């Protein structure tokens, strides 16, 4: 039971003149256990803000987030996060980066290296165990970041455009790998992306947000089995439908 | 490899030529050892000082003074820098005090160093400490102010739930390169303070003291020996530190920066 419930959530940022900007308004969302959900929307619609609130890195102005029956009040290793920017600690070797969360929990060195190696293998980078992050390519860094988040064995994995900085080929390969990791670990994944193609390829459901203030415009179910064929007609249909929704929300402002 | 060797040979040749010119000028142009001791005068003085054993003692004493001052500066400067860099309240509280004390030249503390500590190693160490403290403090403070937000947030979501854990496991490692360069600067400043402190009578031993003492005795070749040793020791300290830091602490950093 590791669902995520977002209840009447709104977020306002103060402006310099004392006024506020509403980034998110009345968001209600329920993500089931082991579900893969993508958040899409035009840029500036607050999808990253929503993810950061769920992570506990920011607090909502009104409403609340409930994960696994508990109200979110701050960051917690049970909610793993993969950032868009490269967030590996440059002073630590790959294996120590992955084991960082375990170290914080007080797991002994032997034990955490063993666990770390398991996740390193899962992302296919065993031979880079003792490398420093600067020695890795962008795709490899994000794979290590995923392994680092998973090593904490979180209930939910929050991903903020993790493949946004990667080239198209690497990106497609990473999507496939992420799905296989998801199938192995059975995590609930909430994934922010600006790529509709990526969302249709990955998710069980796509949540489309409207821009400023962000609110849920529509939720698109994608019941097909994986791996999905990006070139199929129904894939193109759903992609077109979602793209049009995003365009509409932008134009209706 | 060949380039390297060539460069070394050229360097040695330049030193020999400079020494030859020095010797010539000292002997045939100036002609008075008191105004400009010749190379051979200096060499003889060096051998004598070494043979009498005082040179090694003075080097030892100076390093002791230096060690006391630098270690005290590190052990106080780094924590205070961390406090001020991480906690706004500490910054607001300590900043005015620091800003008043910082512009006071370290050597202006010499009278109080003597009154508080007497003519002891601690007095010389204190003057060096005053000189070395601020560069370390500033470097630590600045580094802690510029810890990338992404690392702090990554630390938080990975389970650092106290300021102490974030400082210990995220901010400090990310700040180490600039703290190290602060320490390096402070060692340069500290070395200068050392000479002045010992010269002005905070101590009855040490390279700076001997330099001044020999000046009183008008033994100028000895003065040159102490000058050269002070320069050389400063160079060695800097090299050892840089070597140690680059090898041990900052292997990761080399790959992160343009070089």
pLDDT value at residue B242 = 85
**CB within 8 Å: B159 and A89:** no
**CB within 8 Å: A74 and B161:** yes
Minimum Cα–Cα distance from A149: chain B residue? B158
**CB within 8 Å: A134 and B151:** no
Confidence of residue A186 (pLDDT cuts 50, 70, 90): confident
pLDDT tens string B41-65: 999 999 999 898 888 999 999 999 9
Residue ranges covered by each domain of chain A: 4-78+156-251, 88-153
For residue B181, give how far its alpha carbon lies from the nearest alpha carbon of chain A (Å): 16
Confidence of residue B135 (pLDDT cuts 50, 70, 90): very high
pLDDT value at residue B246 = 77
**CB within 8 Å: B154 and A83:** yes
Closest by Cβ to B158, choosing from A74, A133, A152: A152
For residue B236, give how far its alpha carbon lies from the nearest alpha carbon of chain A (Å): 27
CB of A106 less than 8 A from some CB of B: no
How many Å is the Cα radius of gyration of chain B? Answer: 23
CB of A137 less than 8 A from some CB of B: no
CB of B35 less than 8 A from some CB of A: no
Residues 139-178 of A with CB under 8 A from B: 148-149, 152
What dihedral angle (degrees, nearest 10) is formed by the CA atoms of A65, A71, A76, A82?
-10
% chain A with pLDDT above 70:
98
pLDDT value at residue B84 = 95
B200 is in which domain, residue-wise? 44-250
CA-closest candidate to residue B47, choices B220, B227, B221:
B221
**CB within 8 Å: A57 and B253:** no
B15 domain-assigned: no
% chain B with pLDDT above 70:
99
B71 domain-assigned: yes
Q: Is residue B259 predicted with pLDDT exceeding 60?
A: no
Contacts of A128 in chain B (CB under 8 A): none
**Dist CA A160 CA B153 (whole Å):** 13
Interface with chain A: mutation pick from B158, B159, B171, highest number of A CBs within 10 Å:
B158
B31 domain-assigned: no
Closest by Cβ to B252, choosing from A81, A105, A132: A132
**CB within 8 Å: B158 and A77:** yes
Confidence of residue B15 (pLDDT cuts 50, 70, 90): very high
pLDDT value at residue A238 = 85
What total number of domains does chain B contain? 1
* Domain of residue B134, CATH code: 1.10.3720.10
CB of B169 less than 8 A from some CB of A: yes
Q: Is residue A124 predicted with pLDDT exceeding 90?
A: no
Q: Is residue A177 predicted with pLDDT exceeding 90?
A: no
Confidence of residue B220 (pLDDT cuts 50, 70, 90): very high
The model's pTM is 0.85
Q: Is residue B254 predicted with pLDDT exceeding 90?
A: no
CA-closest candidate to residue A49, choices A7, A11, A1, A14:
A11
Confidence of residue A165 (pLDDT cuts 50, 70, 90): confident
Q: Is residue A1 predicted with pLDDT exceeding 70?
A: no
B56 domain-assigned: yes
Q: Is residue A150 predicted with pLDDT exceeding 70?
A: yes
Predicted ipTM of the assembly = 0.90
pLDDT value at residue B229 = 93
H or E segment to which residue B225 belongs: helix B220-244
**CB within 8 Å: B253 and A90:** yes
CB of A104 less than 8 A from some CB of B: yes
**CB within 8 Å: B154 and A132:** no
Return the DSSP state at B205.
S
For residue A36, give how far its alpha carbon lies from the nearest alpha carbon of chain B (Å): 20
**Dist CA B158 CA A77 (whole Å):** 5
Residues 145-164 of B with CB under 8 A from A: 150-151, 153-161
**CB within 8 Å: A85 and B160:** no
The DSSP secondary structure of chain A, one letter per residue, reads ---EEEEEEEEEEE-TTS-EEEEEEEEEEEE-TT-EEEEE-STTSSHHHHHHHHHTSS--SEEEEEETTEE--S--TTEEEE-SS--S-TTS-HHHHHTHHHHHTT--HHHHHHHHHHHHHHTT-GGGTT--GGGS-HHHHHHHHHHHHHHT--SEEEEESTTTTS-HHHHHHHHHHHHHHHHHH--EEEEE-S-HHHHHHH-SEEEEEPSSSB-EEEEEE----SS--TTSHHHHHHHHHHHHHHHHHHHT-
**CB within 8 Å: A101 and B158:** yes
B117-138: average pLDDT: 92
pLDDT value at residue A69 = 84
B217 domain-assigned: yes
CA-closest candidate to residue B158, choices A107, A250, A220:
A107
B5 domain-assigned: no
pLDDT tens string B138-195: 999 999 999 999 999 999 999 898 999 999 999 999 999 899 999 999 999 999 999 8
B24 domain-assigned: no
pLDDT value at residue A125 = 86
**Dist CA B171 CA B158 (whole Å):** 14
B216 domain-assigned: yes
For residue A107, give how far its alpha carbon lies from the nearest alpha carbon of chain B (Å): 12
pLDDT value at residue A253 = 56
Minimum Cα–Cα distance from B176: chain A residue? A91
Q: Is residue A203 predicted with pLDDT exceeding 80?
A: yes
**CB within 8 Å: B159 and A101:** yes
Closest by Cβ to B150, choosing from A74, A85, A152: A85
A133-154: average pLDDT: 89
pLDDT value at residue B1 = 65
H or E segment to which residue B66 belongs: helix B54-86
Residues 220-239 of A with CB under 8 A from B: none
Confidence of residue B247 (pLDDT cuts 50, 70, 90): confident
Weakest-pLDDT range from A43-47, A115-119, B17-21: A43-47
Indicate the class that CATH gives domain A4-78+156-251. alpha beta
**CB within 8 Å: A104 and B256:** no
Contacts of A67 by beta carbon, 8 Å cutoff, 6+ apart: A2, A3, A4, A5, A54, A78, A79, A155, A156
């Amino acid at each position: 039971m590791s669902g995520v419930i977002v209840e009447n959530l709104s977020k306002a940022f103060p402006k310099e003149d004392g006024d506020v900007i509403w980034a998110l308004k009345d968001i209600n969302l329920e993500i089931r256990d082991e579900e893969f959900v993508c958040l899409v929307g035009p840029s500036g619609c607050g999808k990253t803000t929503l993810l950061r609130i769920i992570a506990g890195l920011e607090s909502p102005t009104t409403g609340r987030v409930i994960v696994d029956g508990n109200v979110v009040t701050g960051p917690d290793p049970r909610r793993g996060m993969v950032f868009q920017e490269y967030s590996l600690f440059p002073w630590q070797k790959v294996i120590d980066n992955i084991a960082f969360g375990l170290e914080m929990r007080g797991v002994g060195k032997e034990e955490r290296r063993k666990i770390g190696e398991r996740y390193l293998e899962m992302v296919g980078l065993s031979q880079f165990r003792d490398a420093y992050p600067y020695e890795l390519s962008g795709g490899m860094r994000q794979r290590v970041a995923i392994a680092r988040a998973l090593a904490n064995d979180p209930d939910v994995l929050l991903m903020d455009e993790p493949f946004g900085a990667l080239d198209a080929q690497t990106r497609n390969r990473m999507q496939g790998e992420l799905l296989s990791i998801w199938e192995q670990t059975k995590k609930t994944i909430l994934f922010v992306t600006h790529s509709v193609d990526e969302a249709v390829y990955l998710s069980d459901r796509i949540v489309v947000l409207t821009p400023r203030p962000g609110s849920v415009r529509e939720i698109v179910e994608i019941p097909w089995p994986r791996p999905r064929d990006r070139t199929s007609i129904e894939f193109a249909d759903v992609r077109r439908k979602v793209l049009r929704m995003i365009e509409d929300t932008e134009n209706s402002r | 490899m060949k380039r390297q060797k060539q460069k070394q040979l050229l360097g040695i040749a330049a030193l020999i030529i400079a020494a030859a010119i020095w010797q010539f000028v000292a002997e045939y142009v100036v002609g008075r050892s008191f105004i400009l001791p010749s190379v051979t005068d200096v060499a003889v003085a060096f051998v004598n000082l070494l043979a009498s054993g005082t040179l090694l003692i003075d080097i030892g004493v100076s390093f002791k003074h230096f060690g006391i001052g630098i270690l005290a500066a590190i052990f106080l400067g780094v924590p205070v820098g961390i406090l001020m860099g991480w906690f706004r309240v500490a910054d607001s509280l300590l900043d005015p005090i620091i800003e008043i004390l910082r512009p006071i030249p370290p050597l202006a503390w010499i009278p109080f160093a003597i009154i508080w500590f007497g003519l002891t190693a601690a007095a010389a160490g204190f003057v060096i400490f005053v000189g070395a403290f601020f560069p370390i403090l500033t470097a630590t403070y600045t580094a802690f102010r510029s810890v990338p937000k992404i690392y702090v947030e990554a630390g938080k979501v990975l389970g650092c739930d106290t300021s102490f854990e974030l400082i210990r496991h995220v901010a400090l490692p990310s700040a180490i390169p600039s703290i190290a360069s602060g320490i390096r600067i402070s060692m340069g400043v500290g070395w200068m303070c050392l000479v002045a402190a010992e010269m002005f009578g905070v101590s009855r031993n040490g390279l700076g003291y001997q330099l001044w003492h020999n000046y009183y005795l008008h033994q100028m070749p000895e003065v040159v020996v102490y000058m050269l040793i002070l320069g050389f020791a400063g160079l060695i300290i800097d090299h050892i530190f840089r070597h140690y830091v680059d090898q041990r602490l900052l292997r990761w950093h080399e790959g992160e920066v343009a070089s």
